[in-house]
Amino acid sequence: MVSYFLRRLFSVAVILFFVSFLTFVIFFQLSPDPAVMICGKTCTPERIEQIREQLGVNQPFLTQFFTFLGGIFAGRSYGAGEAAIHCAAPCLGFSFQTSQSVMDMIVSRLPVSITIAAGAAVLWLLIGVSAGLISAIKSGTWWDKGAMMFALGGISLPNYFIALVLQYVLVVQLQILPFPSTPDFAEDPLFWFQSYIMPWSVLAFGYASMYARLTRANVLDTLGENFMRTARAKGLPPLLVLRRHALRPSLTPIVTLFGMDFAGLLGGALITETVFGLNGVGKLAADSIGKNDQPVIMGVTLMAALFVVVANVVVDLLYAFLDPRVRIKA
Amino acid sequence: MRHDQKGSIPANHLLAVTGLGVRFPTPKGPVDVVKDLSFTLDRGQTLGIVGESGSGKSMTSLAIMGLLPKDAKVTGSILLNGSQTVDRSDAELRKLRGDSMAMVFQDPLSSLNPYYTVGLQITEAYRAHRNVSRRAARAVALEAMAQVQIKDPQLRIDQYPHQFSGGMRQRIMIAIALCCEPDLIIADEPTTALDVTVQAQILALMADLQKETGAGMIFITHDLAVVSQVAQNVIVMNTGRPVESGTTEQIFSAPAHPYTRALLNAIPRLDDDLEELKMVQEFTRPKVTPAAVTTS
């Protein structure tokens, strides 16, 4: 068990190393020279060289990459002597645009993204899984057809479209909700809820649709299993047959999917945050891409990768716990 | 195997099936998967039901258990211990299933839920019919596992189906079926998915347990060799209809119906020098099935 865990941790490290290497190549080496960008219009070659020196981009590529990695684990300094700026570990560098620490920028945006992801996750699990269950149990009825129509809508309608329609109807026309924003829960819980409910719903709609279809398919598969017939042949009450024998095999794969989806959203719900103008990690990423703010893009990408890779390990461990056939061999 | 005259079925039979029919609606009209099936079974006796795939053997067993899909229409009469089970509500049938009558299925791996220990899968069958504590049910399960000759039941009871071999899994299925001491055991191809050597062990075990408990058994199989080992009486079915019935000796020594002869001829023998295996295909269409024969 411990050795399995260590091996997984090692593979996480390897994956993150390659992800950071790739992002570094793409964003730093194949992008326009940041020194030119920072320097602005009234610029001299000497000034550019000076900035390059300070950013360290005049160094050979691999040196730059390992300086960047070193910054994450041990911190680093930009420039030398009196003018040097120290960046404490974990250092992801400074934004070219605002000169803020990338780490601070991400950390300050994380609570918004976590709130959006968590609220949406509660909604889509409740709605998606129960709709899928009802569809499967009442397969072929109008319940089933209605739920599946709804799910098809959720999968095919882009969420920026739904977001704009909802915002127009509920906020502009009916005025029953405020424009989405990111207030503090402690100050005014009701306002907090009203501000977040629309982003949650929009984000949850697509996921709920996917989960409803998946749950339905899984439950229908399980209902056709031979062990279901055995359970009925034992004379167990129908609800126990369903709860014990059908639900667990059907929902176990959904746990895996959920772990990955949720982790993906912690790296920012890019479209939802952008459409509603919520300052989460997703919007930070979108803004930085627009401004070619490479350190920020790099930081957000790495962090999103970290969430997904770690979630992958957590899900695998959880799966071994949920499915006795996948016991871990130490 | 005696065919009683209609209306004169003695009440002391364990199971009396009269004029059983199972009909499924299909887009092309109703299909009779079982038709005009009658037989009786007494305690301690084994009845073999033999036929090819699609002959209605499994549908017969599911009809007796009340496990047919909802759209199936069952006609005729099934008397278990003298009381009618056809047209009973599912809640009433549920009390009989697993208690008075139990079933052993073909594929023991897929018939056991991979997510639960075999212990839970045995005890839940027991607790569905007996109001006992977990601990008491566990004791019963341990006893049932010992009865089906699983070594180290104390250790094995907390293991999962995938940790058992095919033969051991079928022993678990038998333990599940036996734990409530049913009057009737229906074994639907219980040895088909097993190796030949394991097959022999399971057959011997089932015969022993039947002798011990005195239960009546319906043994469904396509394997005539297996039937000759376990059953006193045999019904041969083809396309949902019984074509021949009688004692096992009669069926094997003097098969009266051409379909039965074809089935027996289709068994390859070691001393045969065949280019290809014999077929029984000309009987699979209902039109050509000659009238049923009762050999006794």
Show the 3-state SS of chain B.
CCCCCCCCCCCCCCEEEEEEEEEECCCCCCEEEEEEEEEEECCCCEEEEECCCCCCHHHHHHHHHCCCCCCCEEEEEEEECCEECCCCCHHHHHHHECCCEEEECCCHHHHCCCCCCHHHHHHHHHHCCCCCCHHHHHHHHHHHHHHCCCCCHHHHCCCCHHHCCHHHHHHHHHHHHHCCCCCEEEEECCCCCCCHHHHHHHHHHHHHHHHHHCCEEEEEECCHHHHHHHCCEEEEEECCEEEEEEEHHHHHHCCCCHHHHHHHHCCCCCCCCCCCCCCCHHHCCHHHCCCCEECC
If asked whether residues A23 and A133 sit together in one domain, one would say no
pLDDT tens digits, residue range B22-54? 999 989 889 999 999 999 999 999 999 998 888
What integer is the mean pLDDT of A176-185?
A: 85
Contact A230 B95 (CB under 8 A): no
Higher pLDDT, B262 or B139: B139
What integer is the mean pLDDT of A191-216?
A: 93
Distance CA A144, CA A84 (A): 65
Side-chain-facing half-sphere of A178: CA atoms under 13 Å: 11
If asked whether residues A83 and A109 sit together in one domain, one would say no
- Report chain A's mean pLDDT, rounded to a whole number: 88
Residue A152 CB neighbour total at 10 angstroms: 13
Q: Computed from CA positions of residues A223, A224, A226, A229, in that sequence, does the dihedral angle turn out positive or negative?
A: positive
pLDDT, residue B293, reads: 63
If asked whether residues A57 and A129 sit together in one domain, one would say no
pLDDT tens digits, residue range B106-116? 888 899 999 99
If asked whether residues A49 and A175 sit together in one domain, one would say no
- At B280, the pLDDT band (50, 70, 90 cuts) reads low
Q: Which residues contact B10 (CB under 8 A, 6 or more apart)?
A: B4
Contact B115 A236 (CB under 8 A): no
Higher pLDDT, A79 or A150: A150
pLDDT tens digits, residue range A252-307? 989 889 999 999 998 888 899 999 989 999 999 999 988 888 889 889 999 999 99
Question: Which of A:238-297 have CB within 8 Å of B?
Answer: 238, 240, 244-245, 248-249, 252
- At B61, the pLDDT band (50, 70, 90 cuts) reads very high
Distance from CA of A71 to the nearest CA of B (A): 47
What integer is the mean pLDDT of B218-238?
A: 89
Give the torsion through C-alpha atoms of A86, A88, A90, A95, to 10 deg.
-40
Partners of residue A324 in chain B, C-beta under 8 Å: 114-115, 117, 160, 162
What integer is the mean pLDDT of A14-34?
A: 83
pLDDT, residue B16, reads: 93
Q: Report the CATH number at residue A302.
A: 1.10.3720.10
- Residue A281 is encoded by which pair of tokens? 């990690």
pLDDT, residue A76, reads: 83
- At B295, the pLDDT band (50, 70, 90 cuts) reads low
Distance from CA of A128 to the nearest CA of B (A): 23
Residue A158 has pLDDT above 50, yes or no: yes
| ipTM attached to this prediction | 0.84
If asked whether residues A114 and A74 sit together in one domain, one would say no
pLDDT, residue B55, reads: 86
pLDDT, residue A136, reads: 93
Question: Which of B:167-186 have CB within 8 Å of A?
Answer: 173, 176
| Secondary structure string (H, E, C) spanning chain A | CHHHHHHHHHHHHHHHHHHHHHHHHHHHHCCCCHHHHHHCCCCCHHHHHHHHHHHCCCCCHHHHHHHHHHHHHHCEEECCHHHCEEECCCCCCECCCCCCEHHHHHHHHHHHHHHHHHHHHHHHHHHHHHHHHHHHHCCCCHHHHHHHHHHHHHHHCCHHHHHHHHHHHHHHHCCCCCCCCCCCCCCCHHHHHHHHHHHHHHHHHHHHHHHHHHHHHHHHHHHCCHHHHHHHHCCCCHHHHHHHHHHHHHHHHHHHHHHHHHHHHHCCCHHHHHHHCCCCHHHHHHHHHHHCCHHHHHHHHHHHHHHHHHHHHHHHHHHHHHCHHHCCCC
Any domain includes A92: no
- What pTM, to 2 d.p., does this model score? 0.82
What integer is the mean pLDDT of A300-328?
A: 86
pLDDT, residue A23, reads: 86
Contact A235 B105 (CB under 8 A): no
pLDDT, residue B291, reads: 60
Most distant CA atoms of chain B, gap in Å: 61
Question: A290, exposed or middle or buried, with CB in 10 Å at 0-12, 13-18, 19+?
Answer: exposed
Side-chain-facing half-sphere of B128: CA atoms under 13 Å: 31
Residue A67 has pLDDT above 90, yes or no: no
If asked whether residues A60 and A19 sit together in one domain, one would say yes
pLDDT tens digits, residue range A18-27? 988 988 888 7
Residue A180 has pLDDT above 70, yes or no: yes
Residue A319 has pLDDT above 80, yes or no: yes
Q: Name the residue among B65, B115, B176 with its Cβ closest to that of A249.
A: B115
Interface test with A, best of B110, B111, B163, B179 (most A CBs within 10 A): B111
Please answer whether residues B85 and B93 qualify as being in contact, where contact means their C-beta atoms are separated by less than 8 angstroms. Answer: yes
B15-283, CATH topology level: Rossmann fold (3.40.50)
Please answer whether residues A85 and A79 qualify as being in contact, where contact means their C-beta atoms are separated by less than 8 angstroms. Answer: yes
pLDDT, residue B41, reads: 94
- Report chain B's mean pLDDT, rounded to a whole number: 86
- Single out the residue in A30, A58, A87 at which a domain terminates: A87
If asked whether residues A249 and A139 sit together in one domain, one would say yes
pLDDT tens digits, residue range A99-119? 888 999 999 999 999 999 999
Higher pLDDT, B193 or A236: A236
What integer is the mean pLDDT of A295-320?
A: 89
Q: Name the residue among A229, A235, A252 with its Cβ closest to that of B99.
A: A235
If asked whether residues A33 and A144 sit together in one domain, one would say no
Residue A234 has pLDDT above 70, yes or no: yes
What integer is the mean pLDDT of A203-232?
A: 94
A222: nearest CA partner in chain B: B113
Q: Which residues contact A142 (CB under 8 A, 6 or more apart)?
A: none
pLDDT, residue A219, reads: 95
Please answer whether residues B176 and B102 qualify as being in contact, where contact means their C-beta atoms are separated by less than 8 angstroms. Answer: yes
Any domain includes A100: no
If asked whether residues A217 and A261 sit together in one domain, one would say yes
pLDDT, residue B1, reads: 44
Residues paired with B247 in a beta bridge: B233
Please answer whether residues A233 and B102 qualify as being in contact, where contact means their C-beta atoms are separated by less than 8 angstroms. Answer: yes
Any domain includes A264: yes
- At A75, the pLDDT band (50, 70, 90 cuts) reads confident
Any domain includes A126: yes
Total of domains in chain A: 2
pLDDT tens digits, residue range A127-148? 999 999 999 999 889 999 999 9
Distance CA A268, CA A101 (A): 18
Residue A202 has pLDDT above 70, yes or no: yes
Any domain includes A98: no
Residue B288 has pLDDT above 70, yes or no: no
Higher pLDDT, A320 or B78: B78
Contact B95 A237 (CB under 8 A): no
- At B7, the pLDDT band (50, 70, 90 cuts) reads very low
What residue spans define the domains of chain B? 15-283
Q: Name the residue among B103, B115, B160 with its Cβ closest to that of A233.
A: B103
If asked whether residues A157 and A82 sit together in one domain, one would say no
pLDDT, residue B234, reads: 92
Residue B5 has pLDDT above 50, yes or no: no
What integer is the mean pLDDT of A220-224?
A: 93
B182: nearest CA partner in chain A: A234
Please answer whether residues B263 and B224 qualify as being in contact, where contact means their C-beta atoms are separated by less than 8 angstroms. Answer: yes
Angle subtended at Cα B245 by Cα B239 and Cα B248, rounded to the nearest 5 degrees: 120
C-alpha B116, offset from chain centre: 25
Q: Is B99 on the interface with A (CB under 8 A)?
A: yes
Residue A226 has pLDDT above 50, yes or no: yes
- Single out the residue in A53, A87, A121 at which a domain terminates: A87
pLDDT, residue A26, reads: 83
- Residue A315 is encoded by which pair of tokens? 């899900």
Q: Computed from CA positions of residues A176, A181, A187, A189, in that sequence, does the dihedral angle turn out positive or negative?
A: positive
pLDDT, residue B3, reads: 47
Q: Name the residue among A229, A240, A324 with its Cβ closest to that of B105.
A: A229
Any domain includes A96: no
Distance from CA of A2 to the nearest CA of B (A): 23
Query: Can you give the residue range of the structural domain that contains A168?
Result: 105-327
Contact B160 A324 (CB under 8 A): yes
Residue B6 has pLDDT above 50, yes or no: no
Interface test with B, best of A230, A240, A322 (most B CBs within 10 A): A230
Which residue in A56, A20, A62 sits closest to A35, CA to CA?
A: A56
Distance CA B167, CA B223 (A): 18
